Amino acid sequence: LKPTRDQFRQKKDLVALFQPLLESRVGGTLHTFGSCENGFWIAGSDVDSCLVLKHCATKQACLSKLKLVRSLLQRAAVAERVDVIPAQVPIAKVYDRQDRNTCDVSINNTAALENSQLVGTLSRIDTRIRPLGRFIKYWATRRQINNRSQGTLSTYTLMLQLFYFLQIRDPPILPLYKLLEFPEAAARESEQKDMDETIKDLDTDESSDDDRPRDEEDAVAADDREFDHMSGELRPLPFHSDVRYISEHLFRENRRNRDSLGKLIHEFFML
């Protein structure tokens, strides 16, 4: 299931082509994330990438930038086809001459970048985690339940399920997230949740006063509100990412669990 050296080389070549072209013509910085960065990449998987740039905080603005990405990649003949998908998080799906989806490009998907770093950090705490994750991802892909765009489970959701399973082992294989989170980050998260609940309550009150169906402008405005967090800047990570520090200071139960991969796979599906 592990990617071949050739697949890693193709990823490196792809980034080397895309990065200077997109950063110079679209702006911002291009980052790779997801399975190709967090340790759960499998043979044949594509590369997830994200352009982080300022002054692009609405869905319509993201779609406009992705259409520019499509034009640039096709004009430079580094992609056979590029489809711009107006999903909740818009993406440009890049295809090669064999019609293989080699790369996805999104705009200001900073939450995914941060989630990818969290998954990568947890995957390095124990050597059994990456083989487990790749097996579960392959199993879900074969059963066609690993495609978020089709309403099934994302790889991120599958990995969170795996992490929960490893956290409740006795002894645990992974620490709880709260042990990794910086105290000031936890406080900010709590404040943000309170603010979100207040806004939600206000929106509910307003909608109850007006039962008219939303027109197209209202729908666009709602889409744009969902992008309010897209500042075009990466915030400092709210959690520890130094695996040695985590193992020595935050999670001293590390490596006490001696369960085999076979036992862990069996009991994961029995959960």
Q: What is the pLDDT of residues 37-51, one digit of tens each?
A: 999 999 888 999 999
CA–CA dist 178, 237 (Å, integer): 14
**At residue 220, does pLDDT exceed 50?**
no
**At residue 65, does pLDDT exceed 70?**
yes
Of 142-156, 198-212, 233-247, the one with minimum mean pLDDT is 198-212
Percent of residues, the chain, with pLDDT higher than 70: 83
**At residue 226, does pLDDT exceed 50?**
no
Residue 149 banded pLDDT, cuts 50, 70, 90: confident
**At residue 145, does pLDDT exceed 80?**
yes
CA distances from 43 to 75, 135, 244, 270 (A): 29, 12, 29, 27
**At residue 217, does pLDDT exceed 60?**
no
Q: Is 217 left (phi over 0), alpha (psi -120 to 50) or beta?
A: alpha
CA–CA dist 139, 119 (Å, integer): 19
Predicted pLDDT at 147: 85
Predicted pLDDT at 151: 86
